[in-house]
């Protein structure tokens, strides 16, 4: 299973779910594909949900930072990386954060979904909508330009 991406248009919210196994090449390919799909989109908030990752043995700091460097400039977009509470997963996400922060408006790493959504500046009512959406996401739709 590869990456899955879903878009909740009314809240400019993107949910990305990662595959069970992740390596450098697939993360780099994902970043390139994301850039193409959302080219011209200037404002959205994203959760990159990495909690389902099982294997990162083939994911390196070099590959992670290379993928982050491929991010295109989106100063009005926020990315919350949601990870399992393990040293390895958190460390790889932090490596991505350090380099992607130069391109995105802001990037943070979280182990708690609600804290991530609050940081993305969603209201309590919007958080409820997003949590419901995340339980049963629908097919993606490209954000407005």
- pTM to 2 decimal places: 0.88
Does residue 20 contact residue 52 with C-beta atoms inside 8 Å? yes
Domains and CATH numbers, the chain: 4-135 (3.30.750)
**Does the pLDDT of residue 113 top 90, yes or no?**
yes
**For position 106, what pLDDT does the model report?**
92
**For position 9, what pLDDT does the model report?**
87
Nearest to 74 by CA among 33, 106, 103, 46: 103
**Does the pLDDT of residue 142 top 90, yes or no?**
no
**For position 127, what pLDDT does the model report?**
97
Ranges assigned E (strand) in the chain: 4-8, 13-17, 45-49, 74-82, 104-110
**Does the pLDDT of residue 114 top 70, yes or no?**
yes
Strands 4-8 and 13-17: antiparallel
First to last CA, the chain: 29
Encode pLDDT of 53-84 as tens digits. 887 888 888 998 889 888 888 888 899 999 99
Where residue 121 falls (left for φ over 0; alpha for ψ -120 to 50; beta otherwise) is left
């Amino acid at each position: 299973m590869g990456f899955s991406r879903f878009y909740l248009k009314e809240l400019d919210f993107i949910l990305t779910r990662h595959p069970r196994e992740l390596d450098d090449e697939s993360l780099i390919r994902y970043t390139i594909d994301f850039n193409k799909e959302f080219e011209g989109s200037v404002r959205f908030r994203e959760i990159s949900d990495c909690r389902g990752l099982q294997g990162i043995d083939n994911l390196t700091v070099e590959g992670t930072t290379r993928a982050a460097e491929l991010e295109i400039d989106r100063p009005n977009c926020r990315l919350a990386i949601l990870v399992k509470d393990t040293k390895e997963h958190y460390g790889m996400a932090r490596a991505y954060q350090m380099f992607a922060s130069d391109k995105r408006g802001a990037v943070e790493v979280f182990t708690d979904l609600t804290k991530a959504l609050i940081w993305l500046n969603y209201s309590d009512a919007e958080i409820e909508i997003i949590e419901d959406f995340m339980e049963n996401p629908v097919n993606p739709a490209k954000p407005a330009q």
